[in-house]
Amino acid sequence: MAATSNTVRGGTVLPADAARWAMWTFVVVNAVIVEALFLSAGSGKNGVLTVAKFFGLHAALLMLFQLLLVARLPWLDRRIGMDRLTVWHRWVGFSLLWTVLTHATLVVLGYATLDDTSMGKTFLALSGVPASLLGMLAATIILLIAVISTRSLRRRLRYEVWHGLHLLLYVALGLAFVHQLQETTTFTSSAFATAYWWILWLFAFGSLLTGRVAMPLWRNAYHRFRVTAVVPESDHVVSVYVTGRHLDKLPARAGQFCIWRFPGHNHWWLANPFSLSAAPDGRGLRLTAKAAGSTSAGLRNVPVGSRAFVEGPYGAFTSLHRTRPGALLIAGGVGITPVRAMLEDQATGDVVVLYRVRGEADAVLLNEVRHLVALRGGRLHLLTGRTAEGAAPPFAPGSLHRLVPDVTERDVYVCGPPAMTAAVLSSLRALNVPARQVHAERFGLA
């Protein structure tokens, strides 16, 4: 979800801005505390070791911040969006790597200088010290994960393989925690330091366990999701209808997505994100999936009556971020799913829909979209065909402006393939549509 602004709506701070402020306040306050603790704890055995400690403390802070970014805390997720939080997680991850490597190098260099010996010998000697060994193992795991997360390697790995290896980071966190505990000065430099680090670690792990484990388990036990119908929409697209108990209590909004598992049908470790393709009505949920790989292709074989394990709802692609009375909803291909749901959300106001597909036969849920747009007295432009060489693409600034002359007066919601989404976002910038009015959902989290 891309919504940036520090302006206000009707005198109140926009939700995305409130969340950004909360995040920055958290970071700045904790950085100040950590620096104060560093200064008050006194210097290390030599200058290099003092600087090493500075980096070590900040590595711990970055690690804890990483946990919060992936904790899927509903308040943050609805305001910032999982895709943007994942991008931040990626950048904080690489910063963490460099901080950890600098810390480790300076520790070895510091002790080598102290003992007047080589760095190689010092490294071997330190690996015999339990506290240092744990730190080294944590650093090695962080390095491994950073390597497999570089774009070129990530592209070559299957999502499940990459994700499985990525989970090793929790092992690294455990090792880093014990490493920090055993390092004499950090936790014990003062009573305040002891209390601060314990509270911070408990808060970060508590948030993670709440958002990633406790809430999904509780929700599934409470709602008991079950498949009620599986309806092919075309040769490659299928809709799955799910019901459950007390669905009126599920805090889902049109435009959001869930992470779905169908135990018994797929392996339990296969979980895929799919948007809600109809606005939640308190009685049922629906996903509509295009066959991309074996899981999405196999959804048409999920038996009616089978259990579903649903995580979420997640995402900030909703009318919570609306800033204008009217909306332009732009969808490409199966990116229509959250847009279709938003058409049932009156909060999006007066709507214009641009739906880009190769041919009318490829337009998923087209009849429903037509019907809902007509009900709301909106406008639908079905943009078919491939962009011919030399012809102006339909989302070039001029074309977009011709189709929707008041585009700058609307909130614009975009969901489609990455290339199309990027083209639309670039045209909106060229047309000077304020960034706070632009909201995008990307069908890729990793």
Ligand X SMILES: Cc1cc2nc3c(=O)[nH]c(=O)nc-3n(C[C@H](O)[C@H](O)[C@H](O)COP(=O)(O)OP(=O)(O)OC[C@H]3O[C@@H](n4cnc5c(N)ncnc54)[C@H](O)[C@@H]3O)c2cc1C
Q: What is the rounded distance in angstroms from the CA atom of residue 86 to the CA atom of residue 92?
A: 10
Q: Quick one: which of 12, 152, 184, 294 contacts ligand X (CB under 6 A)?
A: 294
Do residues 16 and 439 touch, judged by C-beta distance below 8 A? Answer: no
Applying CB under 6 A, the span of 5-13, 187-195, 286-294, 341-349 interacting with ligand X comes to 286-294
Residue 165 interacts with ligand X (CB under 6 A)?
no
Q: How far is the CB of 441 from ligand X (least distance, A)?
A: 6
| Residue whose CB is nearest to ligand X in the complex, by number | 293
Q: Reduce the DSSP state of residue 238 to 3 states and report it.
A: strand
Q: How far is the CB of 73 from ligand X (least distance, A)?
A: 17
The residue (of 413 and 443) whose beta carbon lies closer to ligand X is: 443
Q: What is the rounded distance in angstroms from the CA atom of residue 17 to the CA atom of residue 13?
A: 6
Applying CB under 6 A, the span of 40-48, 71-79, 217-225, 293-301 interacting with ligand X comes to 293-301
Applying CB under 6 A, the span of 94-102, 141-149, 214-222, 292-300 interacting with ligand X comes to 292-300
Q: Quick one: which of 123, 159, 187, 196 contacts ligand X (CB under 6 A)?
A: 159
Q: What is the rounded distance in angstroms from the CA atom of residue 262 to the CA atom of residue 269?
A: 10
User: What is the phi-psi region of residue 414: left when phi exceeds 0, alpha when psi lies from -120 to 50, beta otherwise?
Assistant: beta
Residue 78 interacts with ligand X (CB under 6 A)?
no
Q: How far is the CB of 336 from ligand X (least distance, A)?
A: 9
List Cβ neighbours of 3 (8 Å cut-off, separation of 6 or more).
14, 16, 316, 321, 435, 436, 438, 439
Q: Quick one: which of 239, 295, 319, 427 contacts ligand X (CB under 6 A)?
A: 295
Q: What is the rounded distance in angstroms from the CA atom of residue 54 to the CA atom of residue 36?
A: 11
Q: How far is the CB of 274 from ligand X (least distance, A)?
A: 4
Q: How far is the CB of 44 from ligand X (least distance, A)?
A: 43
Q: How many residues bind ligand X (CB under 6 A)?
A: 21
Alpha helical stretches, state H, 116-190: 119-126, 130-148, 151-156, 159-166, 168-182, 184-188
Four-CA torsion 312, 210, 78, 196, nearest 10 degrees: -160
The residue (of 107 and 357) whose beta carbon lies closer to ligand X is: 357
Q: Quick one: which of 296, 319, 348, 421 contacts ligand X (CB under 6 A)?
A: 296
* Per-residue contact string for residues 321-350; x = within reach of ligand X by CB under 6 A: -------------x--x-------------
Q: Reduce the DSSP state of residue 178 to 3 states and report it.
A: helix
Residue 290 interacts with ligand X (CB under 6 A)?
yes
Q: How far is the CB of 201 from ligand X (least distance, A)?
A: 28
Do residues 177 and 138 touch, judged by C-beta distance below 8 A? Answer: no
Do residues 290 and 375 touch, judged by C-beta distance below 8 A? Answer: no
Q: Quick one: which of 164, 293, 325, 418 contacts ligand X (CB under 6 A)?
A: 293
Site for ligand X in 247-276 (CB under 6 A): 257, 271-275
Task: Write the DSSP string, 282-341.
Answer: SSEEEEEEE--SHHHHHGGGPPTT-B-EEEEEE-S-SGGG--SSEEEEEEEGGGHHHHHH
CA pseudo-torsion sign 434, 436, 438, 440: positive
The residue (of 77 and 183) whose beta carbon lies closer to ligand X is: 77
Do residues 62 and 106 touch, judged by C-beta distance below 8 A? Answer: no
Of residues 288, 218, 228, 222, the one with CA closest to residue 260: 288
Applying CB under 6 A, the span of 10-18, 213-221, 289-297, 429-437 interacting with ligand X comes to 289-297
The residue (of 103 and 261) whose beta carbon lies closer to ligand X is: 261
Site for ligand X in 188-227 (CB under 6 A): none
Applying CB under 6 A, the span of 2-10, 21-29, 97-105, 437-445 interacting with ligand X comes to 437-445
* Residues near ligand X, by CB under 6 A: 159, 257, 271-275, 288-290, 292-296, 334, 337, 443-446
